[in-house]
């Protein structure tokens, strides 16, 4: 299995809703990432988990809450989002560094209404 | 801090023509370098990567890139463009040592292929 699987592929939520994005990989990668990508822009790093511990938080608002239940799963819990949070949310994994590269999922297209 | 600059936000070529997408990096130590492609409404797919082995790197779909330390460049080329190559291309850099992989992207180049 050489894929990163993200669910759901599309999500529409209201500003008072609570929802979660899920990411799963079975490549044995020990680093997992959340990126946010706005239209016509490059992905922006949000969080990095290394060996199931949060190692980087790029000053992301607290309405985004990451969770890494185990080495294969990464969640992003969403609460009280704003319309400007609408974007493509990408999950990625890597074998702990840059030598091998990063495998990206196909993303969750989030729309906040 | 490391950064990546992609020259040209939009490149248009004719089908069968040479594709050249430019990428320059800034780093005191040669980093790991990557090219990714993104088709509409999809994630990023790795085209190729440079990890301090051969300076000429061959990737998927006929793409290749050459690492030139003297020019701090990692330009992406393909001899003959296909219509299916139309997509967004991102150059990215990762520090060379001791990190969990903070991948830094350039601004992206949209490749248009005309029939």
Question: Tokens 């319309």 correspond to what residue?
Answer: A83
Give the chain A residue whose CA is nearest to the CA of B33. Answer: A98
**Contact assessment for residue A23 and residue A75, using Cβ atoms and an 8 Å cutoff:** yes
Task: Collect all residues with Cβ–Cβ distance below 8 Å to A5 and sequence separation of at least 6.
Answer: A23, A24, A25, A105
A57 touches chain B (CB under 8 A): no
pLDDT higher than 60, residue A97? no
B30 touches chain A (CB under 8 A): no
Distance of CA B10 to the CA centre of its chain: 14
B41 touches chain A (CB under 8 A): yes
Euclidean distance between CA atoms B61 and A78, whole angstroms = 37
Q: Count CB-CB contacts under 10 A for residue A58.
A: 13
DSSP states along chain A: ---EEEE-SEEEE-TT-EEEEEEEE-S--SEEEEEEE-TTS--EEEEEEETTEEEEE-S--TTEEEEEEETTEEEEEEES--GGG-EEEEEEEESSSTTT-EEE---EEEEE-
Give the chain B residue whose CA is nearest to the CA of A41. Answer: B107
| Tens digits of residue pLDDT in B50-66 | 887 788 999 999 999 99
Euclidean distance between CA atoms B111 and A2, whole angstroms = 27
DSSP state of B84: G
| Tens digits of residue pLDDT in A9-53 | 999 999 999 999 999 999 999 889 999 999 989 999 999 998 899
Using a CB-CB cut-off of 8 Å, the residues of chain B touching A94 are 100-101
Give the chain B residue whose CA is nearest to the CA of A109. Answer: B41
Token output for A54: 């949060």
Q: Is the peptide bond before A8 cis (omega within 30 degrees of 0)?
A: yes
Token output for B84: 């299916």
Residue in B34, B100, B108 closest to A56 by CB: B100
Among A45-54, B50-59, B68-77, B91-100, name the one with the lowest average pLDDT. B91-100
| Tens digits of residue pLDDT in B5-47 | 999 999 999 999 999 999 999 877 778 899 999 998 889 999 9
A27 touches chain B (CB under 8 A): no
């Amino acid at each position: 299995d050489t894929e990163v699987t993200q669910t759901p592929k599309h999500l529409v939520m209201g500003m008072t809703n609570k929802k979660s994005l899920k990411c799963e990989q079975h490549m044995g990668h020990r680093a997992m990432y959340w990126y946010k990508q706005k239209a016509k822009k490059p992905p922006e790093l949000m969080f990095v988990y290394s060996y199931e511990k949060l190692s980087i938080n790029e000053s992301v608002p607290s309405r985004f809450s990451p969770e890494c239940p185990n080495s294969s799963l990464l969640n992003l819990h969403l609460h009280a989002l704003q319309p400007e949070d609408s974007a493509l949310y990408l999950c990625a994994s890597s074998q702990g560094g840059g030598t091998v590269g990063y495998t990206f999922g196909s993303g969750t297209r989030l729309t906040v209404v | 801090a490391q950064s990546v600059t992609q020259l040209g936000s939009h490149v248009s070529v004719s089908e069968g023509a040479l594709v050249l997408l430019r990428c320059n990096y800034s780093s005191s130590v040669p980093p790991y370098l990557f090219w990714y492609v993104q088709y509409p409404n999809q994630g990023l797919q790795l085209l190729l990567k440079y990890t301090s082995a051969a300076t000429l790197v061959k990737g998927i779909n006929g793409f290749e890139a050459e690492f030139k330390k003297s020019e701090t460049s990692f330009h992406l080329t393909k001899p003959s463009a296909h219509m299916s190559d139309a997509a967004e291309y991102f150059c990215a850099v990762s520090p060379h040592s001791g990190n969990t992989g903070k991948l830094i992207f350039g601004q992206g180049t949209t490749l248009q292929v005309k029939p």
